[in-house]
Structure 1
Amino acid sequence: MTSPRSETPSELSPIQAGVLSPSSLVSAEIDQLTPQLIDWRRDLHAHPETAFTETRTTDLVRTALHAADIDTRNLPRTGLVADIGADNPTHLVGLRADLDALPVPERSGLPYASTVPGVCHACGHDVHTVVVLGAALALKRLQHLLVAADAAVRVVFQPAEEVVPGGAHDLLDAGVLDDVHRIFAVHCDPSVDVGSVGLAAGPITAACDLIDVTLTGPGGHTSRPHLTADLTFALGKVLTDVPAALGRRLDPRAGAALVWGTVSAGNAANVIPATGRVVGTLRMLDADAWNTIGGLVTELIHGVVAPYNVHADVQHVRGVPPVVNDPVAVALLADAVRMTQGPAAAVSTRQSLGGEDFSWMLRDRTGAMARLGTRTPGGATYELHQGDLQIDERAIGVGTRMLATAALLSSTAVSTGRSGPSL
């Protein structure tokens, strides 16, 4: 994996030197915007759209940006891009949001719960969308600061983060980030209290691949498994034996986990089916192990099913590398959090096994992803990708202030003058 490029610190901007206060300027704008941002978030939450179908979501964002006199450009399928600030800037900062929902039924009971059967925003992308939208609207009102610094901010509303391969490839192939120097993103974290933001330099997510296995055989009667191929039994062995074998073929320090998400085979109790399928994800913390794993999973699956006279078709789709946060970008986010939320609001976070296609955007430019606290203090801790997810909407203002302030800090200075965060 190519390490993100580090930038050499040199000088402070007037904002960072204290002549101007980005936090007060940003906060004043976002205080006015927050009620509308909450309304937009609830609208998006009630009308979720899955990967590459986010037309209504894209239309809402486009309408809001156009109303603020911000021009937009469409991405190849769904999603859009907009620039705020100087024309032909010497420094261009990116802010990225992901638009798509998950094929998960909502069971939150909220008054603005999903109206789309079997689909909901179980990962908080509705929050990510309005946070970046709010930052764009606030920065438009403060555009004179960007123009004075010969800088601009590009907001990117990306489709299809939840699928493999994800929508990041579309915008990279379209050259949307070719001239972006640094990029920031947020991800909801329901294990962190609202008002706090989790930050860390280095890898904070895992590599993630898709494993799709289809078994085929002649099928037959369950009274005579010896005369056919017991496909369901073989499928069960794939489910249990392959993850176990993988744990003995990879260095434990790689932090690998193969976990199945869907299983299907047959529809009658007395019939051995002729086909069955299991699909899951392979995740690992170690990027080097991800780069070298090659055909190991396929080899193990074929070895496990060989005694059962069934054929295995294995699709191993490479997904995403880990998100690796640049230290200078993390330091900028930390400053922004402290300015807008107070000195204790920036907290450390650990690497997780979650995957994120924001990682592809950090291959050739610096940047960082922050974990936005969404838990009500003293309230329940929810899990992402579950239909009961609830988010304290105060997180919207926290995330918007942080991103807009970080964009100003990054846009109006060559660097913070530090090599890493001071969390």
Structure 2
Amino acid sequence: MSTSPLIDRVLARIDAATPELTELRRDLHANPELSWHEQRTTQLLVKRFDELGLEPVLFGETGLMVDIGSGPGPVVALRADLDALPVPDLTDDPWRSTVEGVAHACGHDVHTAGLLGAGIALAEVAGELPGRVRLIFQPAEEIMPGGALAAIGAGALDGVGRIFGLHCDPGVDVGSLGLREGPLTGAADSLDIRLTGKGGHTSRPHLTEDLTFALGKVITELPAVLSRRLDPRAGVSVVWGLVRAGSAMNVIPAIGRVAGTVRMLDAVAWADAETLVTATIEQLVGPYGVVPEVIYVRGVPPVVNEPFSTALLGRAIESVVGAEGHLSTTQSLGGEDFAWYLQQVPGAMARLGTRTPGGTTYDLHQGDLRVDERAVPIAAKVLAAAAIGAQVTDL
């Protein structure tokens, strides 16, 4: 659907590479690696870029970047993430995970294969690119504050004028992509609270520091307090994923723990969240005499799509799937460390449809996630088209 001869050639090259990309995605899915442990994935990419005559630069033990082209024009970056999640693969696909308790349940295998496809095609027209395209294969997106900061520290954005990325969306049909100008995701932090106090017999709570009761107050009251202390438009959400205390029904424990995430839509509220959360926890447990230890990790700010970059990415989407495949989307509370790149340079991220039309709607971070593999070449094409379009426009 493109009207650019250069983009048309790139799209055709991706079509030819689709069997290779599908096979790579299945290989990555069968051999997932957790954050900061993506050595095998990294080496597969290094080997393929070596075959293409490119010179990948490692970030460390995991992750890499590689430049394509040598023209004096703009440097446009494209980013994918490499890591899997510590969840079991519940599918029965032939390429299901072979690593116990680890699965690509967020679609990073699709992201990686798609960006490699863009690289394969762009390498074939490298001499015709006005500038350079930098492919960033980033480790550790799934942990806070994310591997993007390490990639940036290693020079991933040096000289870059604009950056683009995609993220799988199993709620959107394959062949469509969701995009919006402005905030796309929410800010996300992690919160780990450990309480200690004098335990004892449940018949004599007045002679103890009733830690379990205090833990319950934190669980129920912290979300309530924040909903009144922060602007409701910030959309703050505190959700607990871990609660531990005690081992017997008639013993008040001396140690307890609750952990979860703090998410919000607003970057201004996010800037003050840590101080407010810590102070509130101390106030909640103070009457019970227990001692709180609060580990608050600032994770990621919201992904905020820059207007002109959003328009460029929208054009790329339409050049690949047509105007009917360019959908509007809403802001979510999900965290994405692509936001750190957008703190440094303008750019945009879109949501890549992975649902088979008429098929099951899956959810991210679940072991039963299945993707329609036709999304892989679409990802490659949109990323490559965005890079070329941005270079031409920014000249």
TM-score range (shorter-chain normalised) is over 0.9
* Structure 1 CA distance for aligned equivalents of residues 19 and 63 of structure 2: 24
**2:12 alignment partner in structure 1:** 28
Is contact 2:88–2:101 with CA below 8 Å preserved after alignment? Answer: yes
Residues 323-343 of structure 1: per-residue CA shift (max 9 Å, x gap): 111122111211111111122
Percent identical residues? 56
1:291-370 alignment runs, 5 A limit: 291-370=271-350
* Structure 2 CA distance for aligned equivalents of residues 316 and 164 of structure 1: 11
Residues 138-196 of structure 1: per-residue CA shift (max 9 Å, x gap): 100121221xx2x0100011011111121111111222202110011000011111000
User: SS at 2:118's partner residue?
Assistant: helix
Residue 363 of structure 2 is aligned to residue 379 of structure 1? no
1:154-169 alignment runs, 5 A limit: 154-169=134-149
**1:129 alignment partner in structure 2:** 112
**2:77 alignment partner in structure 1:** 94
* Structure 2 CA distance for aligned equivalents of residues 343 and 294 of structure 1: 42
* Alignment: residue pair count: 394
* Structure 2 CA distance for aligned equivalents of residues 73 and 306 of structure 1: 52
1:7-26 alignment runs, 5 A limit: 18=3, 20-26=4-10
Is contact 1:221–1:271 with CA below 8 Å preserved after alignment? Answer: yes
* Structure 1 CA distance for aligned equivalents of residues 247 and 338 of structure 2: 40
User: SS at 2:258's partner residue?
Assistant: strand
Residue 219 of structure 2 is aligned to residue 235 of structure 1? no
Residues 265-286 of structure 1: per-residue CA shift (max 9 Å, x gap): 2333333222111111111111
Residue 103 of structure 2 is aligned to residue 120 of structure 1? yes
Is contact 2:187–2:263 with CA below 8 Å preserved after alignment? Answer: yes
Is contact 1:215–1:231 with CA below 8 Å preserved after alignment? Answer: yes
Is contact 2:189–2:298 with CA below 8 Å preserved after alignment? Answer: yes
Counterpart of 1:265 (choices 237, 245, 249) is 245
TM-score of the pair, normalised by structure 2:
0.96
User: SS at 2:323's partner residue?
Assistant: coil
Is contact 2:212–2:245 with CA below 8 Å preserved after alignment? Answer: yes
Is contact 1:23–1:336 with CA below 8 Å preserved after alignment? Answer: no
Is contact 2:67–2:133 with CA below 8 Å preserved after alignment? Answer: yes
Deviation of 1:55 after TM superposition, in Å, equals 0.7
**2:197 alignment partner in structure 1:** 217
User: SS at 1:313's partner residue?
Assistant: strand
CA RMSD of aligned residues (A): 1.5
1:389-400 alignment runs, 5 A limit: 389-400=369-380
Deviation of 1:227 after TM superposition, in Å, equals 2.1
Residues 183-238 of structure 1: per-residue CA shift (max 9 Å, x gap): 11000011111000101111111111111111111222333333222222221221
1:273-292 alignment runs, 5 A limit: 273-292=253-272
Residues 32-76 of structure 1: per-residue CA shift (max 9 Å, x gap): 111111111111111111111111111111112112112111103
Is contact 1:76–1:170 with CA below 8 Å preserved after alignment? Answer: no
* Structure 2 CA distance for aligned equivalents of residues 335 and 51 of structure 1: 33
Is contact 2:274–2:296 with CA below 8 Å preserved after alignment? Answer: no
**1:39 alignment partner in structure 2:** 23
User: SS at 1:293's partner residue?
Assistant: helix
Counterpart of 1:402 (choices 378, 382, 385) is 382
* Structure 2 CA distance for aligned equivalents of residues 406 and 281 of structure 1: 33
Amino acid aligned to 2:94? P
* Structure 2 CA distance for aligned equivalents of residues 49 and 221 of structure 1: 45
* Structure 1 CA distance for aligned equivalents of residues 53 and 246 of structure 2: 56
Deviation of 1:294 after TM superposition, in Å, equals 4.4
Amino acid aligned to 2:32? P
**2:180 alignment partner in structure 1:** 200
* Structure 2 CA distance for aligned equivalents of residues 109 and 317 of structure 1: 36
Amino acid aligned to 1:252? P
Residue 91 of structure 2 is aligned to residue 111 of structure 1? no
* Structure 2 CA distance for aligned equivalents of residues 60 and 276 of structure 1: 43
TM-score of the pair, normalised by structure 1:
0.90
**2:62 alignment partner in structure 1:** 78
Is contact 1:23–1:340 with CA below 8 Å preserved after alignment? Answer: no
Is contact 1:80–1:158 with CA below 8 Å preserved after alignment? Answer: yes
**1:49 alignment partner in structure 2:** 33
Residues 65-88 of structure 1: per-residue CA shift (max 9 Å, x gap): 11211211110341011010016x
